[in-house]
Each structure stands twice: as C-alpha cells, then as structure tokens.
C-alpha cells in the first residue's frame, strides 16, 4: 500500500500538487499565527511560516523549470488540477 503512494508521487503533477498543498497549509499557518498569537511569538511564528513557504515555492519553481527543460510533460499546477478533475 505504501509503495502505491510512492509510485503515485513519481508523477511530477502529483508531486507538484503535494508541494502546493504544503505551501497552502504553511501560509495559512502564518496568517493564523499572526492573528491568534501575541507579541514576539506571533511575529517570529509568522516570519518562520512565511520563510518556509517561500523556500518551498522556490524549490517548486526550480523543480518545474528543470522538468520543463528536461522535456517533461508538466504544464503547470492548473493543468494538473484540470486533469485530476477529469478523471
């Protein structure tokens, strides 16, 4: 069963959806921590979440550029979502 999940992550579109989901969760964490926490803890948490989100975004951008340069069929996150919706 675990190998099925790993095999599905071999598809670049699936990996892209996973990284975009991680970015959405961490950015949501930044917004929530800014409004829920107080003082310095709120500021530090917000900055940490935003920095993590930015790091994942940069990694995803480099990865998708490499995939496009290497002749991959990936056309972007919108196309990956459209194809998933058609299944």
Question: What is d(CA 14, CA 22) in angstroms, rounded to the nearest whole number?
Answer: 12
Question: What is d(CA 13, CA 15) in angstroms, rounded to the nearest whole number?
Answer: 5
pTM summary value: 0.71
Report, as an integer, the average pLDDT of 48-65. 90
Given a cut of 90, whether residue 80 has pLDDT beyond it is no
The proportion of the chain whose per-residue pLDDT surpasses 90, expressed as a percent, equals 44
CA end-to-end span of the chain, whole Å?
21
């Amino acid at each position: 069963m675990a190998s099925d999940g790993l095999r599905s992550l071999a598809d670049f579109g699936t990996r892209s959806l996973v990284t975009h989901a991680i970015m959405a969760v961490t950015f949501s964490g930044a917004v929530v921590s800014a409004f829920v926490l107080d003082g310095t803890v709120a500021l530090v948490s917000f900055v940490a979440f935003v920095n993590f989100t930015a790091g994942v975004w940069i990694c995803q951008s480099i990865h998708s550029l490499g995939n496009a340069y290497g002749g991959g069929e990936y056309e972007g996150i919108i196309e990956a979502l459209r194809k998933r919706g058609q299944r």
